[in-house]
Amino acid sequence: MIVVTGGAGFIGSALVCSLNELGHDDILVVDHLGTTEKWKNLVPLRFADYLDKDQFIGRLEDNAFGSSIDTILHLGACSSTTERDATYLMENNFRYTERIGHWWEKHPDTRFIYASSAATYGDGTHGYRDGTDSLDCLRPLNMYGYSKHLFDKVAFRNGWLKRIVGLKYFNVFGPNEYHKGDMRSVINKAFRRVRDEGVISLFRSYHPQYGDGEQLRDFIYVKDAVAMTLFFMEQRSAGGLFNIGTGVARSWNDVAKALFSALGKKPVIEYIEMPEEIQDKYQYFTQADPSALRDAGCTVVCRSLEESITDFVVNYLQHAAHLEPQGNR
């Protein structure tokens, strides 16, 4: 059995979809649906069962699953970079992952892959090279990043990273993020306004090295991020921290132009003030160093930003469509 926590969420449901396409349906989806609309991500997917996250962790620790779990893909977390409840993030993001880690210690034949984040790198002062050499030097800019960084450090200190895999996802975007509210990608949030009004709003820059809209990020399409993730499910000997990104930084202006192009419109960009509460927590540059990924044998070739946005717009956003296995279409 394959367990996917956060399996109704953005990357988690995309993972389940790809697993279905690979012929896997003995999948336990773990999530907390609450009053969100993310249940819609599950509708086209095939899986054996669903458990709320609180039910799952209790049953896991009680050894209710015996030796039936082959792989745990732990994507479940609060992904809001503006969440201010540090107690909640410590319990939901750090402590929950640590509890799975302690279970794995007793069941080391289970493949354990968990989601870390590029937010752990902070302002990039120490670069974006993955691995453990610079763990103690990293200074995340928000509590979300710290909740992820703290588990990376615990996993390293306990020696777990010799056998388990932590994936530092960069700016992932694509279908199935409809439920994420303010945490949706700019592409998703701006789509309707670009389509209907022909204009997009981007944040002004408050850094002298970057012009308005020229802040740079490593944007990766969810389909490529999932392909990289599933590589580590098959490559069971790999352990450590790995970046999940394209290795190419692109500007927000590039994103806007690609969105306009996908809709057949001329770019009209307006620059607006950045909320004061995030100005000192804003990452102006991120770019994954993919060296360790390639050294591990991963040969996934990422789509270009323009190709990714076109696929997202034409095949999903224009129809409010969700990912579904090819065999279901």
> Pick from 38, 127, 29, 137: which is nearest to 79 by CA?
38
The answer to whether the CB of 194 falls within 8 A of the CB of 263 is yes
Residue 152 pLDDT grade (very low, low, confident, very high; cuts 50, 70, 90): very high
What average pLDDT does the structure give for the chain? 95
Residue 327 pLDDT grade (very low, low, confident, very high; cuts 50, 70, 90): low
Residue 82 is predicted with a pLDDT of: 76
DSSP string, 89-113: HIIIIIIHHHHHHHHHHH-TTSEEE
Q: Is residue 148 flagged as an active site residue?
A: no
Mean pLDDT of 107-120: 96
H or E segment to which residue 3 belongs: strand 2-5
Q: Which domains does the chain have, with CATH numbers?
A: 2-174+218-247+287-303 (3.40.50.720)
275-315 per-position pLDDT tens digit: 988 888 788 999 999 999 999 999 999 999 999 999 999 99
Q: Is residue 257 flagged as an active site residue?
A: no
In the predicted structure, residue 59 carries a pLDDT above the cut 70: yes
User: Catalytic residue among 96, 128, 144, 169, which?
Assistant: 144
User: Catalytic residue among 38, 180, 223, 257, which?
Assistant: 180
